[in-house]
Chain A
């Protein structure tokens, strides 16, 4: 990918132009957007979040083009695609983290439990308490492990007593599978942990405020395979209680942890469907090229 970016890009453009129609047209649901289509069924039966016609602009540059998809309750949905395809940008729309970028403009509709999260009466503070986020690089606060977990519940006023807070911290660390490793060192700085432990600390921090949806932006890209395996295991366990959206560069990871997968390409949502189907039987040429490793 590194040496032939330009060639790949040209090839991609050609492929995009050539593939005006999906290959299995008759049996597949297709959503038409002007010249471009999303292959696969974008809706689910019990959606947690519903996104329709989402456009994102950075200044004049359009980063996301008319993307629509549903995120089902208690499912893990993976966003895959080559670098710069807009999957992280789209993820950050889901809890309005893009608000912090002055030049960023989001249009379209993103609903959480039938509430438009971009509506005027929605407070981002409340939204982010419901839609938590785990970032690419582990970013614990430079405070103690205890304080890292206690911060969210404290600012949202979710606990009244010290005992309640202690229990919540313990519980969150337990659910993140970190309790055994940190039980004896709650007052040590969070930054003293290893990379994988830091990332699990960040997940514990996110679930401490009991969100409904957890967004994960390439949570394992800075971790070694063992730490990655632990996080993936954790994601699988968390699915029982939370809806998880994960952006990943590793197709194996997407295949391992997710039930549905969405493939993004240059700001377009190209294909969406059950993970098994996407990886065994991609219906769009671009998806196939990507997952068979022809580029990316």
Chain B
């Protein structure tokens, strides 16, 4: 580098040090830039995948929120519905409404003849249309004898066709909509008798084999009851456990073992809890299969360790000076905890609990083991009705081949994600709110 030093006692020339430092500086800066670059790439990649996932789910699921309806002139013929003329509600409920739908369709296309073409014509309308007419008569019996323009639910094939998911250039045998049906539908379209309406069915009914009649209300109510049981059990027990272990229990080998076990339980695969629930709650205690009560019990087992760990962390973060102040005033231990420590630890505990609950909401594996995977059409009304939950409903629908179920699967995922975001938002809100008090 520079000239060799003249004597051992002379300090190294300062210019030399500067140069060395300068040389290193460039290397250090480069390392920093590189590291920042890696971070940027990682974050961009991560965000890209998130956008891809959400984009995929939303683009697939969004159409499911709209459903095709066909306007049909329906004559509520009293000779069909009420041949005796007695206006007996029971007889009216059991009358043949499907005939009215067929008659209405024939009125739209009077030239269609023959058994098969007529069947194809009737196939444009969902089988739910008859029930829709029955409901109308039940609500307004005075409609009897009149003729009304009624928007009826189209069949899933028609809906899929209008959402552009059936290629009309395909050979007739390969598509669910036939040539004559396409012809009728085009006519209906040009005369403005086809409309997309908000898909209320999706939120109002339970599962169904017919995609256009399938909804997530059953799964939503199942999830609601299950989570209610989970929360009612795991929150009080979890908080009490955390308080006892942190504040009251002596620190000895037994409490150490308990602590290790709780930490391990939090890491146990969830399906194991399902097996435990099957063995204990259903086989031993004889609780009903597929019931939200059992689902809630199983998910409580899974959520408890999470709440206990979060609760203990929240309790330890309360400054010891507050405890000393309370004890110094002559508060008993329970008063110290109840009046001072627990209120201060609450935000942390609530955050942990809500995150645990959000995990429970998204859990499907343990519920498969206790029979909450059944095909259940009725919307559950209490804790013992057979039910399924949102993630299991998604799993069930994702297995079905119909195009209409594919979009419903994505729609159900969107609803589930919305609830997750809602719960996490609530956790943040609660934390902020409690923390802002002082």
Q: Which positions in A face B, CB cutoff 8 Å?
A: 95, 97, 100, 102, 125-129, 132-133, 135, 137, 139-143, 151-152, 155-156, 189, 191, 202, 205-206, 209
Contact = CB atoms under 8 A, between A and B. Distances in A.
A142 B250 CA distance: 28
A211 B374 CA distance: 68
Given A102-B251, A141-B340, A128 B330 contact: yes
9 contacts: A97-B328, A125-B331, A125-B332, A127-B330, A128-B329, A133-B328, A135-B325, A139-B321, A151-B339
A225 B298 CA distance: 61
Contacts of B326: 141
Contacts of A156: 330
Interface in B322-343: 322-332, 335, 339-340
Contact of B438 (A127, A191, A205): A191
Contact of A135 (B321, B330, B332, B340): B321
Interface in B282-332: 319, 321-332
Contact of A139 (B250, B324, B331, B438): B324
A202 B328 CA distance: 11
Contacts of B437: 142
B344 interface: yes
B438 A140 contact: no
A290 B380 CA distance: 80
B322 A209 contact: no
B324 A135 contact: yes
Given A133-B324, A133-B328, A156-B330, 15 more contacts: A102-B250, A127-B330, A128-B328, A129-B329, A129-B330, A132-B328, A135-B328, A139-B321, A141-B322, A143-B438, A151-B339, A152-B329, A191-B438, A205-B329, A209-B330
Interface of B: 250-251, 319, 321-332, 335, 339-340, 344, 437-438
The 4 closest A-B pairs by CB, nearest first: A139-B321, A128-B330, A133-B328, A129-B330
Contacts of A189: 438
Contacts of A139: 319, 321-322, 324-325
Contact of A142 (B251, B322, B327): B322
B331 A155 contact: yes
Contacts of B322: 139, 141-142
B243 to A, nearest CB: 16
Contacts of B340: 141
Nearest to B343: A142
Contacts of B324: 97, 100, 133, 135, 139
B328 A95 contact: yes
Contacts of A137: 321
Among B250, B324, B328, B438, the one with the most A-chain Cβ atoms within 10 Å of its Cβ is B328
Point out which of A97, A132, A142, A152 has the most chain B C-beta atoms below 10 A from its C-beta: A142
B329 A132 contact: yes
Contacts of A97: 324, 327-328
Nearest to B331: A155
A189 B436 CA distance: 12
A142 B344 contact: yes
Contacts of B251: 102
A142 B339 CA distance: 11
B335 A155 contact: yes
B327 A128 contact: yes
Contacts of A191: 438
A59 to B, nearest CB: 13
A151 B329 contact: yes
B327 to A, nearest CB: 6
Contacts of A206: 328-329
Contact of B329 (A100, A102, A143, A155): A155
Contacts of A141: 322, 325-326, 340
Nearest to A156: B330
A194 B320 CA distance: 20
B329 to A, nearest CB: 5
Contacts of A205: 325, 329
B265 to A, nearest CB: 26
Nearest to B332: A125
Contacts of B328: 95, 97, 128, 132-133, 135, 206
A133 B326 CA distance: 10
Nearest to A153: B329
A142 B323 CA distance: 12
A152 B330 contact: yes
A79 B331 CA distance: 26
B187 to A, nearest CB: 73
A81 B323 CA distance: 27
Residue of A97, A143, A151, A152 with most partner-chain B CB within 10 A: A151
A202 B321 CA distance: 12
A128 B321 CA distance: 16
